[in-house]
Amino acid sequence: MDDTTLRAVFALDGKTQKFVPAGHNLTFDKAEALRTSLEGKGQRISSVVQTSRHKGHGYKSCEPCKTAAENFSEQENAAEEHTTEPTEESATSAD
């Protein structure tokens, strides 16, 4: 199997509002099945193509997965900051 076809899946933890690893070293079909299953439970999901096979079987303790999850969380927080409603003051100054 070509390593570039492997996927990692991340789920947004409802309590911490941070992404956590949900699986790695998955084929496209297995990643889509996991994604569908988690979305069916109401979880927000993100996935990426892995650049290489992650060592070990435990995705929860996988360093590349943890790093990617942190990056997703930071991107999510940055996106939320940019989508906040304009304040009344900034709205009136735009007139």
C-alpha closest to that of 39 among 68, 76, 11: 11
Domain extent listing, the chain: 3-81
pLDDT reported for residue 95:
46
pLDDT at 71 over 60: yes
The whole-angstrom separation of Cα 84 and Cα 93 is 17
The whole-angstrom separation of Cα 25 and Cα 49 is 9
Match 């492997």 to its residue by tokens.
6
pLDDT reported for residue 92:
44
Mention every residue, 6+ apart, whose C-beta is less than 8 A from residue 74: none
Q: The whole model's pTM is what? A: 0.75
Tens of pLDDT, residues 24-58? 999 999 999 999 999 999 999 999 999 899 987 79
